[in-house]
């Protein structure tokens, strides 16, 4: 059963009637372009087939309730109170995600009505595959629909605005200082394509990404190592980048080109140099990846993916043992390229592999984890799926 059907059925069980609307949004993997989004740079994600669905109905009393179907099949309920009284810090735990979206939409002038939400999905949580953003995007679209402004209707707000509102919810309500990559991927990706997103200009380009036609597969390795952006060094990295941009007299590190890099590094304090080197070279790698894909040279992006990992491991310092074991084992057993994806400090890696090597590389990765006595990773092959949309 699809997450949308599961959510609708759970809603029926909970409320004794069908939901007014069901919207769903996917998780993502970022092919390349990591920690570039909050530096006004470039990213290149694909949407996963895994989705979070939100079945929702309007309430006339202004209250917001949410229930989420756990892996155990049990519905976990939370009362979020009156939408008009939501404020940053007022809700803790997973309820902060739906509540934050309701709060942010309201702050932006959307007339958010009271609502009952029932959430179900299959995006692995805590795997760096953006399950929280999938949830937030699906909630945003469901609440907009209940407010009479469905994303597929004449009074729809631009999706770029919805992405920004979800970011406001994440930054100011949930308290995670994340950029625009995940929401944009979840809302704007399309099937069979990677999404080239220029965060500064807002320009989007759908880049064909057909692994099957090239006899390739994109292997996702969920290391099961848990990360948390708010508690991890994500915010520190971001501040470091903003500080470096200030010292360099530019709006964001996006403004430093590879040709400017040596000069820029020379005037920066030691501790900021590796951060800047990562961001500047990573933006360049995104552009090179897009050129290879445009030229139909899918296999040629492998070395760029690997170089991105090395840069995140050695310069940005956001990898960890599990991610390095996954990447090294994939490369040593024949992957064309591999890198960690997402915020880092755990989560998932991706490896671009020849279809005929998929099994042996998967086995080599599992063996490497077993050898290091690490929890076995979860492996699956990703093909670019559709972005968020209405299910009913």
By the criterion CB under 6 A, which residues form the site for ligand GLA? Answer: 30, 34-35, 37-38, 178-179, 181-182, 342-343
Please identify, using beta-carbon distances, which residue of 114 and 179 lies nearer to ligand GLA.
179
Q: Are strands 114-121 and 63-69 parallel, antiparallel or unpaired?
A: parallel
Complex with ligand GLA: residue 38 or 369, whichever CB lies closer: 38
Alpha-carbon distance 256 to 53, whole Å?
A: 40
Nearer Cβ to ligand GLA, position 181 or 382? 181
List the beta strands (DSSP E) in 281-374. 337-341, 348-354
Q: Which of 135/368 has CB closer to ligand GLA?
A: 135
Contact 391, 9 (CB under 8 A): no
Question: What is the smallest separation between the CB atom of 367 and ligand GLA, expressed in angstroms?
Answer: 29
- Of the candidates 62, 56, 136, 142, the one whose C-alpha atom is nearest the C-alpha of residue 104 is 136
60 labelled catalytic: no
Shortest Cβ 24–ligand GLA spacing (Å): 19
Q: What spatial distance separates the first Cα and last Cα of the chain, rounded to whole Å?
A: 15
Longest dimension (CA), the chain: 66
Find the helix or strand (DSSP H, E) in which 30 lies: strand 21-32
Of 182, 222, 357, 391, the active-site residue reads 182
As measured in angstroms, the least distance from the Cβ of 129 to ligand GLA is 9
Q: How far is the CB of 178 from ligand GLA (least distance, A)?
A: 3
Closest CA to 37 of 165, 181, 137: 181
Q: Which residues face 24 on adjacent strands?
A: 53, 389
**Run of H or E residues at 15:** helix 3-15
- Give whichever of 83 and 134 is closer to ligand GLA, judged by the CB atom: 134
Q: In the complex, what is the shortest distance from the CB of residue 296 to ligand GLA, in angstroms, rounded to a whole number? A: 26
The Cα 332–Cα 334 span in angstroms is 6
Catalytic residues: 182
């Amino acid at each position: 059963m699809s997450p949308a059907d599961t959510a609708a059925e759970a809603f029926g069980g909970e409320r004794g009637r069908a939901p007014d609307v069901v919207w769903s949004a996917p998780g993502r993997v970022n092919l390349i372009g990591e920690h570039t989004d909050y530096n006004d740079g470039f990213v290149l994600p694909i949407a996963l087939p895994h989705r979070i669905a939100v079945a929702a109905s309007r309430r006339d009393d202004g209250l917001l309730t949410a229930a989420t179907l756990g892996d155990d099949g049990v519905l976990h309920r939370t009362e979020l109170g009156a939408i008009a009284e939501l404020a940053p810090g007022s809700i803790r735990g997973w309820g902060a995600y739906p509540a934050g979206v309701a709060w942010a939409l309201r702050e932006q002038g959307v007339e958010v009505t009271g609502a009952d939400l029932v959430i179900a999905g299959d995006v692995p949580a805590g795997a760096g595959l953006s399950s929280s953003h999938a949830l937030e995007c699906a909630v945003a679209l469901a609440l907009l629909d209940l407010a009479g402004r469905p994303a597929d209707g004449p009074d729809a707000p631009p999706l770029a605005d919805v992405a920004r509102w979800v970011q406001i919810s994440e930054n100011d309500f949930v308290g995670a200082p994340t950029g625009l990559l995940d929401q944009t991927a979840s809302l704007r990706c399309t099937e069979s394509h990677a999404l080239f997103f220029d965060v500064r200009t807002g320009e989007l380009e759908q880049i064909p990404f057909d692994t099957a036609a090239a006899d390739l597969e994109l292997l996702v390795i969920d290391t099961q190592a848990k990360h948390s952006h708010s508690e991890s060094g994500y915010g520190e990295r971001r501040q470091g980048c903003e500080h470096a941009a200030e010292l360099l007299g530019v709006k964001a590190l996006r403004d430093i080109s590879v040709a400017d890099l040596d000069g820029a590094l020379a005037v920066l304090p030691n501790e900021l140099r590796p951060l800047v080197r990562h961001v500047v070279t990573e933006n360049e790698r995104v552009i090179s990846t897009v050129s290879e894909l445009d030229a139909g040279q899918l296999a040629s992006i492998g070395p760029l993916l690997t170089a991105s990992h090395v840069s995140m491991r050695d310069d940005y310092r956001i990898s960890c043992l599990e991610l390095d074991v996954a990447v090294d084992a994939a490369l040593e057993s024949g992957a064309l390229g591999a890198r960690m994806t997402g915020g880092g400090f755990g989560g998932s890696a991706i490896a671009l592999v020849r279809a005929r090597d998929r099994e042996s590389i998967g086995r080599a990765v599992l063996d490497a984890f077993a050898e290091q006595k690490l929890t076995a990773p979860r492996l699956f092959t990703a093909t670019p799926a559709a972005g968020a949309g209405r299910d009913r």
